[in-house]
Structures are given as C-alpha cells and as structure tokens.
C-alpha cells in the first residue's frame, strides 16, 4: 500500500487531477492552475469592490478614494495568500493540510453593506466589527469538535441554499454593470455578460477531455477582450484607463499593504455592528 501511494504522488498523469497529491503534466497544470487562480482572484475582488464602493467614511459622509480601494484590494489578496499557505502548511490546529484557497466571503456581504452605509458607523465601524467577528469565528472554529454534531446535512444544505439565493442579486448587479453605476442595465453591460456566459457554455461543449473544465477561463478571457474592444473603439465605456493611471500614480506600481491601524480610518468597535455580522 505504501508503494502504491508513493507511486501516485511521484508519477505524472492526467488522471492525477483528481488525486490529492498527484502530479499533472505541465501543459495541463498551467491552464488549470491559471483558471483556478483567476476564479479565486475575481471572487476575492468582487466583495471588496461592492462593499468599498458603497462604504462611507464615518462622520464625513464621503466615499473611499480609488487609491484607498486599491490598497484594500492589495490587503485582501495578501491575506488570502497567507491564509492559503496556512491551509496547505498547518500551524498547530490552524489549517487543514488541503489545497483550500482562502479569500473574501460573499456570506457577510449584506451585513457589511448595512454597517458601512450607516453614517454613525461607516467604514470604520465595519472594520471594527470584522476584527471582533474574526476573533469570535476563530474561537468557534477551534471549539468545533464540541458542537459540530448539531450541524446535520440538512442544516448545512439550508445554509448553502440561503447563501446561493442571497448571491443571485449580486450576480445580476454585476451583469448590469455594477452596483450603483450611472449606466446600470445599459445594453453593452448586458451584451458582455451574455456573451461571456455563452462562451462559457459553448466552450464546455466544444472542448475535449479534461479541457472542458477550462470553460470559465475561456469565458473570462473573451469577456475582458470584448470589454476592451468596446472601450478602445469608443462604442461603450467599459474600461476606465484614465482611472488606472491615476490610481497607479497615487499608490505606485508596487506597494506594501498597510495595516488598518496605521491609516486615517481608525476602527470603531461597536457591539451593534458586531451582532449584525
């Protein structure tokens, strides 16, 4: 049994895609890995963009600047990388020793939007609630062996269904161009969204073998290309290149993520915001 296990790890084969420690040929590992990273990348950025786009600064009523949102995106990806490494290489009881990509969750999106749009709490109140909520969730996770027997498959299924239904509105908002944009529901947003979906479905049908699973990557690439073409050809403003250059001039091409305690937005710890999460 030991030799067979070692053979699965050492040998290189397409079948190893579904083996925990299996090695896959490089020409297949690169596109599958790229799709996985891009899919995780988008899901990490979307909640941050949605929340930060709606968040107001406590006491002023102003929104976050594009440079501040960019720095928050950096922090999200930086911490997601650390969390993923801790899952792969556990420390004490923290980590599963499985290839789990950690990132930003859509689960708390509704609660965060309620907090960050409250003038008395704002972005600072949301950050304080997230810090307290993170500590609480960590303690709950470490004590899971005492209460996880109460989470039957029926309970888990209901929670997953509820999360999925709550995200339908988020997906439709993205399809329409994004939450709060002035041209929400414009024909070019709907066209790019429909085009991306069709490319994903067609790719799933046309690609052969294990490459069928690359349909999401193909849809992402073609969707972005169509958006760039619309922008360059002055058909529709899909990509704001001026905003990109302005943000780079303020943040820089490379910068180290800043801790929230060292910024102008000091966290506010409010029990009402904590219980909302």
Q: What is the 3-state secondary structure (H, E, C) of 157-199?
A: HHHHHHHHHHCHHHHHHHHCCCCCCCCCCCHHHHHHHHHHHHH
The confidence score (pLDDT) of residue 128 equals: 93
Cα separation values, 84 from 74, 77, 100, Å: 15, 10, 6
> With a cut of 70, which residues of the chain have pLDDT below it?
1-10, 13-15, 17-18, 20, 179, 209-211, 213
249 occurs within a structural domain: yes
Rounded to two decimals, the pTM is 0.65
The confidence score (pLDDT) of residue 8 equals: 43
Place of tokens 């909302």: 276
Token output for 61 = 């009523």
Based on the structure, what is the number of domains in the chain?
1
- Give tens-digit pLDDT for 207-230: 876 667 678 778 888 998 999 999
10 occurs within a structural domain: no
How far apart (Å, rounded) are the C-alpha atoms in residues 221 and 233?
18
How far apart (Å, rounded) are the C-alpha atoms in residues 208 and 212?
6
Contact 195, 223 (CB under 8 A): yes
29 occurs within a structural domain: yes
135 occurs within a structural domain: yes
5 occurs within a structural domain: no
Contact 189, 166 (CB under 8 A): no
- Give tens-digit pLDDT for 47-85: 888 888 888 998 888 888 888 888 888 888 888 889 889
How far apart (Å, rounded) are the C-alpha atoms in residues 200 and 222?
9
202 occurs within a structural domain: no
Domain that residue 28 falls in: 24-186+236-276
272 occurs within a structural domain: yes
The confidence score (pLDDT) of residue 7 equals: 44
């Amino acid at each position: 049994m030991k030799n067979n296990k070692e053979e699965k790890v050492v040998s290189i084969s397409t079948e190893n895609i579904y083996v925990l420690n299996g090695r896959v040929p490089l020409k297949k590992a690169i596109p599958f890995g790229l799709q996985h990273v891009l899919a995780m990348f988008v899901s990490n950025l979307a909640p941050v963009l949605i929340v930060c786009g709606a968040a107001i600064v406590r006491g002023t009523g102003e929104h976050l600047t594009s440079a501040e949102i960019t720095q928050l995106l950096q922090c999200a990806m930086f911490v997601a990388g650390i969390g993923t490494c801790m899952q792969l290489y556990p420390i004490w009881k923290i980590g599963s020793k499985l290839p789990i990509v950690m990132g930003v969750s859509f689960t708390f999106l509704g609660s965060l939007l309620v907090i960050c749009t409250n003038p008395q709490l704002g972005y600072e109140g949301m950050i304080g609630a997230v810090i307290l909520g993170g500590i609480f969730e960590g303690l709950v996770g470490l004590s899971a062996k005492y209460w996880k027997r109460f989470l039957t498959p029926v309970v888990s299924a209901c929670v997953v269904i509820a999360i999925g239904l709550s995200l339908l509105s988020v997906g439709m908002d993205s399809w329409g161009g994004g939450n709060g944009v002035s041209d929400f529901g414009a024909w070019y947003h709907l066209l790019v969204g429909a085009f991306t979906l069709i490319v994903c479905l067609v790719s799933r049908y046309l690609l052969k073998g294990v490459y069928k699973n690359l349909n999401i990557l193909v849809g992402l690439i073609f969707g972005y290309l169509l958006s760039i073409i619309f922008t360059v050809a002055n058909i529709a403003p899909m990509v704001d290149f001026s905003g990109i250059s302005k943000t780079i001039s303020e943040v820089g091409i490379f910068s180290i993520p800043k801790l929230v305690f060292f910024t102008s937005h000091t966290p506010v710890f409010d029990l009402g915001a904590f219980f909302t999460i």
